[in-house]
Structures are given as C-alpha cells and as structure tokens.
Amino acid sequence: MISRLELLYRGGNECLITNIVLDVASSTRANVETIRSKLDRNEDLKILKWLTPIDYGPQQSDFIKRRQKGTGTWLLHANEFNTWLGKKK
C-alpha cells in the first residue's frame, strides 16, 4: 500500500512533504513539553508532600475570610516601613 507521503513525493511535492514533517515535528515537540511540564509538576508536588503534609490552601482561604478591614494598615503607614520601601536594593 502506498502512503500519502509517497504519493506526494512521486508527484514532486517535496516542499509540501517538508511542511507536513515540520508540522508533525512541531506538534510532537509541543506534546513532549506538555508531558515534561506535567512530570515536573508531579515531582514538585511529591517534594512538597515530603516537606510537609499540611495543605495550606484551605488554611489560607480561612485566614483571608476572617481578615478584618484595616488589618495591617499600621504597617503600611509606618515611617520605618516606608523608609525601607524607598531604599534602593
């Protein structure tokens, strides 16, 4: 059985074949990067679970819900903080 690429090649469509191959290679590269990213994310999660079993997301959400209006404004208005903030690093 003759493949589609063989038919294109026999018809003198080398440029079209090259474009098809480049598209497939690009798609494959993108898929590999996606898989690698997921593996890296899984590895990161394993390390975090090893460091601490505590899931801080719900705890942080609870703290944010219980925050009172004006919390921390004293710090934002303190001269020491604003002097520190204005210093070049």
In order of 10, 48, 68, 76, 80, the CA distances from 72 in angstroms are 74, 29, 9, 7, 14
Query: What does the pLDDT read at residue 83?
Result: 92
Position 25, amino acid: A
What is the full per-residue pLDDT of the chain (89 aa) written as tens digits?
A: 467 767 666 777 677 777 787 888 888 888 888 888 887 888 888 888 888 877 888 988 999 899 888 888 999 999 999 999 988 65
Kindly report the length of the chain: 89
Domain boundaries, the chain: 4-86
Query: What does the pLDDT read at residue 80?
Result: 93
